[in-house]
Amino acid sequence: MVKGEFLSDRNFEDGQGITFHALDPLDPTKVYDPYEDREVVTYVLPLDITNTTNRDINLLSNKSISNTMFYSKIGEFYNLIPYAMELPKQYQFEPVIPAGKTVRGYIGANYFIGDDPGKNYKNFSNESTKVKFISFMKDQKGKYHELEIPIN
């Protein structure tokens, strides 16, 4: 695996025809999780997603998922991010990117304030816990690349 550097132009490619341009992270928001009866902090990173090929690409297809995954990371805890599927409705987007087009998409994650009920992390605080999103991509030669994107 090759660890890459998040470039100042905030662009990165998946090696399969998709270019991502990471915009500035949105301000974190606190929402109430009725299932756990607790507050969570939601982090959202907008992305301009460009399909550079001459065919439509479904980001949620088995092939795309096997080539590109996103994770959130706090400390040593990694959490898979299924694009916007776990985010509020306003961040949902169509996962099929038309050939030659750019669409606005989102990735994001939720963290419980304090300790995680699953015991994956402790003492989470928006003010003191560093959150990163990780892109994990396989290039056309089958080599994996990891890129850390600071969120807060």
pLDDT value of position 3: 62
pLDDT at 11 over 90: no
Instruction: Let me know: does 59 contact 92? Beta carbons within 8 Å.
Output: no
Residues for the chain: how many in total?
A: 152
**Count of the separate structural domains present in the chain:** 1
pLDDT of residue 1: 47
Task: Identify the CATH number of the domain in which residue 78 sits.
Answer: 2.60.40.4110
Q: What is the DSSP letter of 152?
A: -
With a cut of 50, say whether residue 8 has pLDDT above it: yes
Residue 73 domain boundaries: 2-150
What is the CB neighbour count within 10 angstroms for residue 87? Answer: 20
Tens-digit pLDDT profile for residues 136-152? 887 778 888 888 888 98
pTM confidence score: 0.86
Average pLDDT over every residue of 40-66: 91
3-state class of 143 per DSSP? Answer: coil
Integer Cα distance of 94 and 34 in angstroms: 27
